[in-house]
Structure 1
Amino acid sequence: MANKKATCYILNVHHEMSLFPDNAFEKSLKTITSSIEDRVLTGRKTDLVSVILCGTPETHNALSDATPGQYEHITTMTPLVMSSVQMLRELSNLTTADPNVPSADVLDALIVAIELIATHCKKLKYTKRIVMFTDNQTQIDWLDLSAVGDMLKSTEIELVLVGADYEEFQSTSCNENVKNNYEHWQALIKSGHEGDIMSLEEAYAQTQTIYVKDVSARPSFRGYMYLGSISENSTFLPISSNTYLRTKQTSLPTLKKLSGLSQGPTRKVEAIRKFLIRANDGKDGEDAQDIEVSKEDIQQGYKFGKSVVLVSSEELAMSKLITKKEMSILGFVKAESVPRYNFFSNVVILTSGLFRTEQSAVALTTLAEALFETGHYALVRFVTSDNAQPKIGILQPELDDVCPVLQYIDVPFADDIRSHKFKSPKNYDDQEDLDLMESLVDAMSNDSLGPDYLSPESNYNPIDWRVKTATKRAAVNPSAPLPELDKRFDDQFKVNPVILEQVGEIGTKIAKKFNVIKVDTKEKKIFAPVTDFEDRAPINDLLDSANADTRNVNFDTMMTELRGELTIGLSTPVEDYYAMLKADSEEDMVEKADTLMKESIFKLLNLSFGNQHYQKVLNCLEALRKTCVEEEDALRYNTVMHELKSWCSLSTPNTPRRQMWDMVKQAGLGLISSEECPDVEIKDVTKQDAEKFWIEADDSAAAVDVDMEQFNEEDLDDLF
């Protein structure tokens, strides 16, 4: 299998590695861990990793077992295997050895790694690499330098030495022992296959770099692009073409469903899909039953209103559009006539195909040059495979460093476009305003920040980075907090300081010119019309008088008091009604309150969706009846009840308004008799007359057509 990799990491765990100013051991461990984390995230089975520890108290390696007494204090932590989470957890628990443990010869550790790779890879084609993290303070036995170099060369293993004290070697005041060791390492790498020496800081920085994922160049389309219709014209030009994906949206790692209750070897959860028919809903006292239906017995259908129109597989096959894999040029359009927002797909690059490659390349290059010089795009019909849905797209020319190329971009159909109409902005005639805004646009230009500012090549997906980083940390430590966004993403979330400096003075002028003020959104403020508030209660007094529970605050009453008037809203009519009765006024508030309550009752009835407001109407009737009895205004209430009976339309069979009538009857909110209230206007209404009111066939109720009242949208606003 191609592209196989075998990488062996050698880590010196001697105590001296932790004595460096920046703790070389910790940084080396982080570097190795970051490299393995990327491999675990990728999940390639052909990318094998091994870790060898140098300077351990024990000795566990294949060469030591074969030749006792040699290659001591070297431990093969993991053989060459696919990297895993378990490997990362074992690395996270590593520490340096005790100071009493003697140091091991790192050249012996290198020989162990070479033998490990050679035994596993044999003569197979692998990309083999050894990365060693160590210092060069201790003495190294270089007698076998030439033999080790030949081993590296014969096995084609690349050696990379990451030195914790490499900066010291590059300085003029380098220790003689350190200098000698690094010179021997340079000679070993030169005599071997390939290799390099780098500092620990440089290696760590490479693992923290964000890289773009490399993908193999595989054609997404192999076929012909036709200039001219092959179905209508006898003369057409076929151009052998391949397409390669140039841009693609980054997809986040997919989540897997796992069971937290599983005690077995796996926690994977598999979904089972069943098709069931409810045979009995349990209406006849029987238990509800479901009958399973096989997928073959299921028919497809489309909803048509509340009905379903069944469509057979034969009818679906007849309605399917038969297409052939091709890319046909339908014509040419001017580049300025294609709006930029019509480019909504991934970009695909066209290259010459396998048939008559040279001639196809010349045809594509010539077409790209012609389109660029004339300022046109080619409008094409693109079918990726046989019987696939056709797409409409454009071929856009682009001048490359080598030669002009064509790139394909999908354009939307009419059904894919959502056109929104916006109100025309005000046409400003003030030249000073236009100049001021133009200076703002110039000041915020990114030209001063260089061509790499927010360019796609140096701009990475912060969400993708954060999800992957959080996954890596949680694999080792499940309680690890979510990582903060790296400072490298600041340009995507913060305005560049250079632009802020350029805009500073202009922004002040604009704020002063257009009276721009900062609005504090933390506190909600109630605004009322400007009027004379000398005789009004302050807003703080109104808020203090309300209940602390906001669900009981009467906002309708609060707003009407701020406006200097009282009324009955549809949100809390009973509370508004009692507030009017208690108000101090020279006007007869009882009569006004009763009149407004009557209007509110029938507004609620007319606006009610089904029985939505019936309970609220019932509460209003109770309040109105109680007040009319106390204030000897019973005739008004009895009139309301006659009108309500007429509204219920009891003569109509199965009327949905009967529920309101039943609720009123059950609550006992009938007519007020003369025995209940000494009102002279109802002196002829006896208790027997009040009982006759509940007779549905009685036509003595006053016929009042309350449905003729026109709908007022302001009344609907009062409901919310």
Structure 2
Amino acid sequence: MAGETGKEAMVICLDVGPSMNQAPAGHETCLETSIKAISRILQRKVFADSKDEVALVLFGTPNTGNELAEDEEYQNITVAKPMGPATLDLLEYVVKDIQASNISADFVDALVVSMDLLEKSIKGKKFSTNRIVLFSDLGGEFSDDQLEPIINGLKSLDTELNLIGPDFDAEDEDDDEDNKNGMADGASNVFHRKEKTPQQRAGEALMKHILEAVDGTCYSFSDALGALSFFQCRSVKQTAWKCKLEIGPDLKIPACGYHKTKEGKMARSWGSTYIKGAGKEYSITNVRSYHLNNEEETEISQDDLVKGYRYGSDIIPMSKEDMDNMAYKSGAKCFKVLGFTKADNIKRHHYLGDGTMSFVSDPGDQAAGVAMSALIQALYETNMVAIVKKVYSSRSQPRIGFLSPHIKAKYECLYFTELPFSEDVRQYTFSSLSANKKHQPTDEQLSAVDDLITSMDLFKSNEDEDDEKEEAFKPKLTFNPYLQRAYQCLQHRALNPNDPLPEIDRVVESYLEPPKEVLTSCEPQVEKLKKLFKLERVVKKKEDKTGENLWKDGDVNEGAPAKKPKLDEDGDFTMESMAKGKVTEVGTVDPVKDFKTIISQKHEDRFTEAAKQMQERIRSLVLDSFRDQFYDKAMECLKVLREESAKLGEPDMFNSFLKEFKETLTEKNKTNFWDKMYTESLTLIDSSESSETKVTKQEAKKFLEGEEKKPKDEPVVQEDDEPEDLLAMM
């Protein structure tokens, strides 16, 4: 019955008899653990929007409800839920309605009922997998007269058999130790491994024989909880993106692209649902309205809205038609090589996009396979990558990326990874630690940090079954804890709408913790860091600029004079000086005041650092100014920087900056600011103003004049004559 749909037909067969409900106080029973495991199976299917179908069979029930029940056969076995898609109703039934009983039923008969239900349910349907999952501790009585028919039936139906029950490999002498230390993964209580009875051992022997005959698998209750704590992703059959890899006008290789990795997202937003009540379903809908920013908050229609974009001080309206006409036309779909470069030129922080695609040649084209293989081998041998332009369809925006070779023993392909355009790259400049010698780390401190990073290596922090080191948090084995926690909360909210959200699942929480081996290996390095990087508590000054200290009475005795308000560093008291904290950098709002505040801090020599920041502010104000919008502010900053540089004996620093700034203004076509400097006679600091420079008055005057200037009475061409419309400029 195998098909290509990827659907699974599963029958869950659960023992609710008395042996499943025995455990000391404070321990989980086998039934409680089984219900938790079944709920996680259903969670995986409900929240992944799976098309799988599930049926539920209970044995050990007081009543009997199955099609094979006749006379004294197949008694106390109930088909609780026929085959169908997993739903929240089924999940609620499993969590809330399954009850333990004091009646024991034959688990072999339950297997026969499950097989019969599975065979009848899959008729006329296509499933890729048929599965029966039996939950039982095998503690009840059973008969083995149908052993061979069961084995033959499972084989003929091509059905996988899974048993979740007692640990076959556990020895009785280890039971006590397990009871002390055994916490079922994800369980809130200690799972109790009780001593096996003779009846249970006989059931184990029978199930071992069946599992070996049909190549089935067995999991202990605690192991199953850990394995089922992971939420599977929605399974989707991939459709190849067929294209032609263009390498020049005469070479086009038919290729197929498949998603190798992609960002995992929830199958649906779950943002809207419905509420049941009085036989009706009340839909939750979103209503959006638009209002003016006035006192009346006047509502307006969406049809009266138009997008606007700021252009300088103006806002330019852009209708949908304008945006469609001005939008970039990417053309037909393509996958074109733009060039080749060394793999070392592609930096890891340039990787973009939400996934990676793998490209192979068209399976039906032998010549394409030879050409693709030659390209892959050539890129690998030369350590090169191909820069490509990718357009998924005529309605898609173009993407730029690189193709890197990937060669394995059984296959080879090209990996496509997206790269950023120039406007996607953001450059952030951080001040150097060398600006303050107190903050420069020593060689011993740097070495200690290197040792800490080395000790936290994840590539050899876990041990596999053969006690060999392996990588921790492998992407193939690591699941997204965000999705797991979200689905846990969704299930709880659906089944318990009035209760608070539950604590985070222990298995999910374990994924947020570093491996124990890493914590152990890095502990000495952490202690070393504590000694090398000492933390000292900063004691606040007794007197601070607070209202309590400023106006506090000097003496409780009548007639005693009150203390005067504490003044700021310039001798003036302001409320602003009380509220403002310590200035650490020259900002953009009031750079002049920030600059003066920093250089006035007598306990720190920060003039060089502050001057460099002030220079950057001047550059940005002039170069980013729309016309002369920020020229006055930049001129004020320049005057203050010149004055303080001459006063504090740093004229050469200012003069070097002014020479570079003049070249920048010429390159960026901002000579109108230089005209403003000429009018203000703002030039180099000469020797008459500071004895620390050798620049003469004549040299300073000549530098300011530069090329021949226009007469002052000549009318200056107004920049208002330039076109203001963005479309006209384009």
Q: What's the CA shift string for 1:551-607, capped at 9, x where partnerless?
A: xxxxxx99943879985525699xxxxxxxxxxxxxxxxxxxxxxxxxxxxxxxxxx
Match of 2:220 in 1: 199
State the Cα deviation string for residues 632-663 of structure 1 (Å, max 9, x = none): xxxxxxxxxxxxxxxxxxxxxxxxxxxxxxxx
TM-aligned CA deviation for residue 437 of structure 1 = 0.7
- TM-aligned CA deviation for residue 40 of structure 1: 1.5
Report what 2:282 is aligned to.
Answer: 267
Quick check: 116-125 or 490-499, which moved more? 490-499
CA distance in 2, matches of 1:146, 1:495: 48
Letter of the structure 2 residue corresponding to residue 59 of structure 1: T
Distance 2:196 2:429 in 1: 74
Distance 2:353 2:415 in 1: 12
Pair 1:300–1:544, CA change in 2 (3 A): closer
Counterparts of 1:317 and 1:391 in 2: how far apart (Å)?
21
* Amino acid of the structure 1 residue aligned with 2:203: N
1:401 Cα deviation after fit: 4.3
Q: Which residue of 2 aligns with 1:147?
A: 149
Evaluate the alpha carbon distance shift between residue 75 and residue 264 of structure 1 in structure 2; reply closer, same or farther with a 3 A threshold: closer
Contact 1:444–1:503 (CA<8 Å) still a contact in 2? no
* 2:352 match: secondary structure: coil
Name the CA distance, whole Å, in 1 between partners of 2:574 and 2:441.
Answer: 49
Which residues of 2 match residues 452-601 of structure 1 at below 5 A?
452-478=471-497, 479-484=499-504, 486-491=508-513, 496-511=518-533, 516-519=534-537, 525=540, 542=549, 545=552, 560-561=565-566, 568-570=573-575
- Equivalent positions of 1:97-496 (< 5 A) are 97-99=100-102, 102-126=103-127, 127-164=129-166, 166=168, 176-189=198-211, 195-208=216-229, 210=230, 213=233, 215-216=235-236, 218-219=238-239, 221-228=241-248, 230=249, 236-252=250-266, 254-258=269-273, 265-271=280-286, 309=317, 313=321, 316-317=324-325, 320-354=328-362, 357-402=365-410, 404-426=412-434, 433-445=442-454, 446-447=456-457, 449=461, 452-478=471-497, 479-484=499-504, 486-491=508-513, 496=518
Distance 2:521 2:342 in 1: 36
Aligned equivalents of 1:3, 1:499: Cα separation in 2: 44
Q: Partner letter of residue 225 of structure 2?
A: Y
2:13 maps to amino acid = I
CA-to-aligned-CA distance 1:15-60 (integer Å, 9 cap, x gap): 221225652121122111211121111222x311122211112222
Q: Which amino acid in structure 2 is aligned with residue 205 of structure 1? A: G
Separation in 1, partners of 2:451, 2:327: 56
Q: Which amino acid aligns with 1:108?
A: D
CA distance in 2, matches of 1:542, 1:277: 46
Runs of 5+ unmatched residues, structure 2: 175-194, 462-468, 554-561, 579-730
Counterpart Cα distance in 1 of 2:530 and 2:289: 66
CA distance in 1 between partners of 2:300 and 2:523 (Å):
72
In the TM superposition, residue 308 of structure 1 has moved relative to its aligned partner by: 5.1
Question: TM-score, normalization: structure 2?
Answer: 0.62
Identify which of 4, 17, 21 aligns with 1:14: 17
With over 3 angstroms needed to count, the CA separation of the structure-2 counterparts of 1:353 and 1:399, relative to structure 1, is: closer
The separation in 1 between residues aligned to 2:564 and 2:483, in whole angstroms, is: 50
Percent of aligned positions with the same letter in both sequences? Answer: 22
Distance verdict in 2 for CA 1:415–1:87, change over 3 Å? same
SS in 1 for 2:366: helix
| Structure 2 SS opposite 1:561 | coil
Distance in 2 of aligned mates of 1:150 and 1:517: 72
Counterpart in the other structure of 1:63: 68
What is residue 584 of structure 1 aligned with on the other side? none
Cα distance, 1:423 vs. partner?
2.7
Q: CA deviation at 1:495?
A: 10
* Partner SS, residue 353 of structure 2: coil
Is this contact kept in 2: 1:323–1:390, CA < 8 A?
no
Q: Say if 1:74 and 1:109, in contact at 8 Å, map to a contact too.
A: yes
Q: Go from structure 1 to structure 2 and tell me whether the alpha carbon gap of 1:274 and 1:351 turns closer, same or farther (over 3 Å shift).
A: same
Residues 316-347 of structure 1 deviation map (CA, whole Å, 9 limit, x = unaligned) = 44765251211111112233333332112244
CA–CA distance in structure 1, aligned partners of residues 318 and 479 of structure 2: 49
Q: Secondary structure at the match of 2:433?
A: coil
Q: Distance in 1 between matches of 2:290 and 2:449?
A: 62
Residue 59 of structure 2 is aligned with which of 27, 33, 54?
Answer: 54
Asked if 1 retains the 8 angstrom alpha-carbon contact of 2:34 and 2:135, the reply is yes
The one-letter code of the counterpart of 1:4 is: K
Q: 1:43 aligns with which of 38, 45, 49?
A: 49
Instruction: Give 1:364 deviation, angstroms.
Output: 2.8
Distance 2:142 2:216 in 1: 19
Is the contact made by 2:242 and 2:255 (CA closer than 8 Å) also made in structure 1?
yes
Aligned counterpart in structure 1 of residue 35 of structure 2, from 29, 35, 55 = 29
Q: Using the alignment, how far apart are the partners of 1:277 and 1:540 within structure 2?
A: 41
Q: Is the Cα contact below 8 Å between 2:66 and 2:77 reproduced in 1?
A: yes
Query: Which one-letter code corresponds to 1:34 in the other structure?
Result: R
Cα distance between partner residues in 2 of 1:308 and 1:174: 80
Write the distance in 2 (CA, Å) between the matches of 1:495 and 1:321. Answer: 54
Q: Does structure 2 conserve the Cα–Cα contact (< 8 Å) formed by 1:452 and 1:458?
A: no
- 1:242 and 1:207 map into 2 onto residues whose CA distance is 35
TM-score using structure 1 length: 0.63
Distance 1:431 1:365, change over 3 A: farther
1:457–1:543: structure 2 CA closer, same or farther, 3 Å change rule? farther
Question: What SS is found at the alignment partner of 1:80?
Answer: strand
In structure 2, give the amino acid aligned to 1:352.
V
Structure with bigger RCO (C-alpha 8 Å, 6+ apart): 2
**Match for 1:336: what amino acid?**
D
Residues 402 and 416 of structure 2 are in contact (CA less than 8 Å); yes or no, is this contact kept in structure 1? Answer: yes
2:608 counterpart residue number: none
Give the CA deviation at 1:226.
1.0
Q: What CA distance in whole angstroms lies between the structure 2 residues aligned with 1:458 and 1:495?
A: 18
Assess, with a 3 A threshold, how the Cα gap between structure 1 residues 237 and 133 changes in structure 2: closer, same or farther: same
Q: Secondary structure at the match of 1:456?
A: coil
Alpha-carbon distance change, 383 to 115 in structure 1, aligned in 2, over 3 angstroms: same
Alignment of 1:671-682 (within 5 A): none
- Alignment partners' CA distance in 2, 1:563 and 1:292: 54
Equivalents in 1 of 2:369, 2:380: separation in Å?
17
Per mean C-alpha deviation after superposition, the further-off stretch among 353-362 and 467-476 is 353-362
Alpha-carbon spacing, 1:401–1:470, altered in 2? closer, same or farther (3 Å): farther
Report the residue type matching 1:10 in the other structure. C
CA drift of 1:262 comes to: 7.2
The alpha carbon displacement at 1:225 in A equals 0.8
Change (3 A) 1:545 1:390: same
**Matched residues in 2 for 1:355 and 1:81: separation?**
37
Contact (CA 8 Å) 2:135, 2:163: kept in 1 or not? yes
Aligned length: 528
Higher mean displacement: 468-477 or 486-495: 486-495
Deviations 1:505-551 (A, max 9, x none): 5314422xxxx31558xxx945769xxxxxxxx999849959xxxxx
Cα separation, partners in 2 of 1:14 and 1:431, compared to 1, 3 Å:
closer
The equivalent of 1:711 in structure 2 is: none
How far apart, in 2, do the equivalents of 1:276 and 1:528 lie?
50
Q: Structure 1 pair 106/355, CA: closer, same or farther in 2 (3 Å)?
A: closer
Q: How far apart, in 1, do the equivalents of 2:473 and 2:323 lie?
A: 52
Given that residues 48 and 82 in structure 1 are in contact (C-alpha distance below 8 angstroms), is that contact kept between their aligned partners in structure 2?
yes
**CA shift for structure 1 position 391:** 1.8
